[in-house]
Amino acid sequence: MQLQEWDAAVTALVRCAWADPLSSLPFFRIGQIEILRQRFESAERWLSAAIEKFGASLMVRDEEAMESQLFSLDEQLATLERECGCPRPKQHRLAPNSLQRSSSRQVLADLATTTLSAAMAHSRMRFRMRFQLKTWSRRTLQPAGKRSLAILHVSPRYGKVDAKVLGLQRSRNMKQKLAQGRYTHTWGQFKQDGFRQALQTPPDTAAASLKEVDLIAWEGKQPVTYALRDGSREPLRLTFWATQESVNSLYEWCKWFESSTSLPQHPYPVLIPSKGRAKAAHLNWRAPHCFGPAAFQSDGQRQSPSALVVAVVEPSEAKDYREAWADLPLLVLPENDMGPAFARWCIQKVSSAFRMEQCHELGALLQMRYCWLVDDSITSFYRLNPLSDQSLQEEDERLQSRGVVLPLSSLSKPLGRKSERRSNGAMFAEAMLAVQQQASQGTCAICGFLRDDGTAPMKSAQWALDSTSVFKVVLLNLVELAKLQVEYVPQLHLFEDVCLNVQARNSGGRILKCMSYCYWADNKTFGGCAEQRAQKAAAPRCTGLEDIIPASAFMELTAAAKTAVEHVYGWVHRDEERSRLRKEALGMPAPLPAPETEALPLTEGTEEATDMQQHGVTFFDEHFFDPFQDLDWSQPALDDLQIQVIQDDRSREVEPQARTEHRRWLLRKPSGENAVMVLD
């Protein structure tokens, strides 16, 4: 009986100190530090009382019985981790490291002669944690967008970065993995030729009459304007060139967003910017592995509109795309050669609100709450199904047969695959609907997917929160982005998607990344951003700020946009400078250093404080949806935090604005299982 009471005491202590790991994630705010300190003090007082009450019996406790109870608890936690699909990293486990080894009894005996002294050591550890909390509260915190770029690397296709020198995009022990048979079930099994050909082949549809409708982007009580090359400004007017059926589908989607509160049966409207790839772009989304032809058939009995996929092209290429794709809806931009950032900005602005102009008359204001923005190089989607127990056993036996040393405890990180790729049916629609369902449970500003680089089946988490590595296939929450005042920077030459993610993070927005579906995409050498990549490759210097955005355009940006651009430039400069210095150290030809940016008034130093004073900066970190995640004191987790600088230069904590208020999440598995994790 005393043993059960002691186990209950330990469980209560853990829950009091770390919050209940089965119902919530340990996301802490700086405003809650004092509350957390009080929890520690209360836990220590409770532990002292428990030791005083049970101390005598604990000293004569059968060590083997106690150890068996602890092992039983560890195995139950490991089972829950596997069921939830989110095992904890080694440094985040609640169980002591000694319990992860076969000789734990001897280790426990060496650690403390009695259970009483072990409990006192546990109490002293809590005291050290409280001291670390004080140190954490005094740390100089960086904006969330800048912190999230710390684990992201610049692609060698867009920066002066040598992947081999930095060890990027390669495995250091590939030969060993091949000898162990890690890729036996994946090597050469997922060829993309059939998917690519299906997406590049126009569908066989009957000829239909086309019409052109002007869409004028609207904001507030006036149209959105954009800057021409001569400095003048014009209303943002795009031409929707499509069949009457597609025009009706666009109108139905806008009306559905106004009235419906349920989830649609088809993905939200998909807009695909494309340039220079009239015959090579992946635009046939009627293919069976995309949406399928049935998704585009209008039926009055359905509860949601039919699927709508629109290609966004420049005026000079509109005829080429129309010749290649007879009835594909086209959204024609107002200008040529304005860059990919301008095209994405136009998509965001016109999707947020627009008016149709017919016969020189403006129609009613139409709006969309969500839209998909997808590159024209996506080839396929795969579902990552967890391996069955039998498959996991076979995986372990296969590794053992090749001399791999497997962990003795189920709490250790498993080796080999944890899931397997599956593709059957309309995978594009299935993956997008899964993200739409998850996004409807909260207010994420941007959602995206994992890009499979060959290691997708090794991933453990099913969802990642606040990751800036969301590209190519993104779901834009247009309403949330408007509240945050976050939009694409149209003047950018490179990294427009990274800059949008950084802006959203700095402004308090959330980014959701789906890890249970992954996509494959081609790296095409022509069209799209090929011109920008060629100019960057031919440049003798590393990337300067004016290579990312012109100086005159940078001066006209808002303070929040300037901060985001500066963070992106610092991220690029970090990787390029590291690559350049290593090349010089190895005696290899290296590019010249980046030009100085002292002439441009960046937001470093005092101006950064002024920016935070006027707009507020939110500080977050990247997290995985892991109900068993422990605190990492080296990189503290800051949720919904804002720090504001006031006139007397004293920092104080302020309540977050409505857009960053504490929200409740229901995290459902994409497989449809009734396993719900609640994030409060």
147-157 b/e with 16+ CB inside 10 Å = b?
Answer: bbbeebbbbbe
Higher-pLDDT residue of 201 and 393 is 201
105-119, 501-515, 638-652: least confident range: 638-652
Question: Which pLDDT score, from 0 to 100, does residue 557 have?
Answer: 94
Q: Cα angle at 181 between 175 and 186, to 5 degrees?
A: 105
pLDDT-based confidence at residue 436 (cuts at 50, 70, 90): very high
Question: Which pLDDT score, from 0 to 100, does residue 124 have?
Answer: 66
Single residue among 351, 374, 397 that ends a domain in this structure: 374
Question: Which pLDDT score, from 0 to 100, does residue 191 have?
Answer: 83
Amino acid identity, position 445 = A
pLDDT 10s digits, 490-526: 999 999 999 999 999 999 999 999 999 999 998 877 6
**Do 153 and 117 have their domain in common?**
no
Q: What region does 67 belong to: left with phi over 0, alpha with psi -120 to 50, or beta? A: alpha
Q: What region does 416 belong to: left with phi over 0, alpha with psi -120 to 50, or beta? A: left
Question: Which pLDDT score, from 0 to 100, does residue 486 have?
Answer: 96
pLDDT 10s digits, 272-287: 999 999 999 999 999 9
Question: Which pLDDT score, from 0 to 100, does residue 198 have?
Answer: 94
Question: Which pLDDT score, from 0 to 100, does residue 122 have?
Answer: 61
Per DSSP, 267 falls in state: P
Q: Report, as an integer, the average pLDDT of 464-480.
A: 93
Q: Report, as an integer, the average pLDDT of 25-41.
A: 46
The tally of domains found in the chain comes to 3
pLDDT-based confidence at residue 46 (cuts at 50, 70, 90): low
Percent of the chain with pLDDT over 70: 59
Closest C-alpha among 528, 470, 479 to residue 499: 470
Q: pTM, whole model, 2 decimals?
A: 0.70
Per DSSP, 667 falls in state: E
Percent of the chain with pLDDT over 90: 39
Question: Which pLDDT score, from 0 to 100, does residue 402 have?
Answer: 63
User: Does a structural domain hold residue 334?
Assistant: yes
Is pLDDT of 585 > 70? yes
Paired residues of 519 in beta bridges: 381, 451
Cα-based distances in Å from 592 to 166, 408, 495, 541, 584? 18, 51, 21, 4, 10
pLDDT-based confidence at residue 606 (cuts at 50, 70, 90): very low
User: Does a structural domain hold residue 382?
Assistant: no
Higher-pLDDT residue of 559 and 618 is 559
**Do 355 and 450 have their domain in common?**
no
Closest C-alpha among 78, 155, 278, 264 to residue 572: 155
Question: Which pLDDT score, from 0 to 100, does residue 146 have?
Answer: 83
* SS3 sequence of 574-608: HHHHHHHHHHHHHCCCCCECCCCCCCCCCCCCHHH
User: Does a structural domain hold residue 180?
Assistant: no
Higher-pLDDT residue of 389 and 653 is 389
**Do 37 and 97 have their domain in common?**
yes
Neighbours of 498 (CB within 10 A): 25
User: Does a structural domain hold residue 33?
Assistant: yes
Contact indicator for 620, 639 with CB cutoff of 8 Å: yes
Question: Which pLDDT score, from 0 to 100, does residue 125 have?
Answer: 64
Cα-based distances in Å from 370 to 215, 482, 670? 17, 12, 20
Q: Report, as an integer, the average pLDDT of 10-15.
A: 47
Question: Which pLDDT score, from 0 to 100, does residue 51 have?
Answer: 53
**Do 255 and 120 have their domain in common?**
no
Query: Containing domain of residue 32, as a range?
Result: 2-137
Q: Report, as an integer, the average pLDDT of 215-244.
A: 93
Is pLDDT of 652 > 60? no
User: Does a structural domain hold residue 533?
Assistant: no
Question: Which pLDDT score, from 0 to 100, does residue 214 have?
Answer: 95
Instruction: Report the chain's C-alpha Rg in angstroms.
Output: 28
Distance from C-alpha of 301 to C-alpha of 511, rounded to nearest angstrom = 35
Is pLDDT of 364 > 80? yes
Question: Which pLDDT score, from 0 to 100, does residue 60 have?
Answer: 41
pLDDT 10s digits, 184-215: 767 677 888 899 999 999 988 777 889 999 99
pLDDT-based confidence at residue 479 (cuts at 50, 70, 90): very high
Question: Which pLDDT score, from 0 to 100, does residue 208 have?
Answer: 80
Q: Cα angle at 320 between 319 and 326, to 5 degrees?
A: 80
Question: Which pLDDT score, from 0 to 100, does residue 302 have?
Answer: 66
**Do 350 and 205 have their domain in common?**
yes
Question: Which pLDDT score, from 0 to 100, does residue 39 have?
Answer: 55
**Do 100 and 157 have their domain in common?**
no
Single residue among 336, 355, 374 that ends a domain in this structure: 374
User: Does a structural domain hold residue 158?
Assistant: yes
**Do 24 and 133 have their domain in common?**
yes
**Do 163 and 132 have their domain in common?**
no
Q: Report, as an integer, the average pLDDT of 555-578.
A: 93
Distance from C-alpha of 340 to C-alpha of 263, rounded to nearest angstrom = 31
**Do 126 and 154 have their domain in common?**
no
User: Does a structural domain hold residue 527?
Assistant: no
Neighbours of 208 (CB within 10 A): 12
Distance from C-alpha of 351 to C-alpha of 331, rounded to nearest angstrom = 11
Residue 43 CA neighbour count, 13 Å, CB half: 27
**Do 545 and 663 have their domain in common?**
yes
Average pLDDT, the chain: 74
Question: Which pLDDT score, from 0 to 100, does residue 199 have?
Answer: 95
pLDDT-based confidence at residue 655 (cuts at 50, 70, 90): very low
Q: Report, as an integer, the average pLDDT of 127-153.
A: 71
31-40, 128-137, 549-558: least confident range: 31-40
Residue listed under structure tokens 């991220």 = 571
96-105, 212-221, 301-310, 643-652: least confident range: 643-652
Is pLDDT of 271 > 90? yes
Single residue among 374, 390, 416 that ends a domain in this structure: 374
- The highest-confidence range among 27-41, 132-146, 514-528, 662-676, by mean pLDDT, is 514-528
Higher-pLDDT residue of 34 and 1 is 34
**Do 323 and 463 have their domain in common?**
no
pLDDT-based confidence at residue 217 (cuts at 50, 70, 90): very high
Question: Which pLDDT score, from 0 to 100, does residue 103 have?
Answer: 44
pLDDT-based confidence at residue 658 (cuts at 50, 70, 90): very low
Question: Which pLDDT score, from 0 to 100, does residue 135 have?
Answer: 64
**Do 238 and 149 have their domain in common?**
no
User: Does a structural domain hold residue 381?
Assistant: no
